[in-house]
Amino acid sequence: MFTKKILVSALFAVGMIGAVATPLTSVAQVEIQLNYGPPAPRYEVIPAPRAGYIWTGGHWQWQRDRHVWVAGNWQAERAGYHYSQPQWVERKGGGGWNYRSSRWDKDGDGVPDSKDRRPNDPTRR
């Protein structure tokens, strides 16, 4: 009986450690730096609006050693959040390009909530 209690306690502890150590995919940020920019955007027909969804236009993404076009798609709306599309941003001084992945932002200031000192301040833009 005592051994069974120890075994159950040990399994519970291991399970709790595993739950705490699991990374959160919702706060993962992708950062890619290149010395040249993406090709020109492709033209896409924007479909008619759908209730409860937003259309995210296509974009160029870096896969292995080249740019690959990712077609636009529907994303379920998140009440109270602003969606920022993925984008390539040229670094100041012509020092290459950075890729910023898509993100949902509470106050719409463009700063991911995980890195924002005031993530719920709707007056800051």
Is the whole model's pTM more than 0.85, yes or no? no
Alpha helices in the chain (DSSP H): 2-21
The answer as to whether 16 is a domain residue is no
Task: Decide if pLDDT at 2 tops 70.
Answer: no
pLDDT at 17: 59
Decide if 107 contacts 100 (C-beta within 8 A): no
Decide if 88 contacts 37 (C-beta within 8 A): yes
Task: Decide if pLDDT at 123 tops 80.
Answer: no
Percent of the chain with pLDDT over 70: 62
Q: 51 lies in which domain range?
A: 25-115
The answer as to whether 64 is a domain residue is yes
The answer as to whether 69 is a domain residue is yes
pLDDT at 21: 47
pLDDT at 54: 93
Between 2-11, 13-22, 37-46, 91-100, the lowest mean confidence (pLDDT) is in 13-22
Amino acid (one-letter) located at 54: I
How many Cα atoms occupy the beta-carbon half-sphere of 118 within 13 Å? 6
Six-digit token pair at 6?
Answer: 């120890």
Domains: count for the chain? 1
Look at the chain and count its residues. Answer: 125
What residues does 103 pair with on adjacent strands? 84
If we measure between CA atoms, which residue out of 20, 23, 56 comes closest to residue 41? 56
The answer as to whether 44 is a domain residue is yes
What residues does 69 pair with on adjacent strands? 60
Q: What is the mean pLDDT of residues 10-34?
A: 56
Task: Decide if pLDDT at 63 tops 70.
Answer: yes
Q: What is the mean pLDDT of residues 52-63?
A: 92
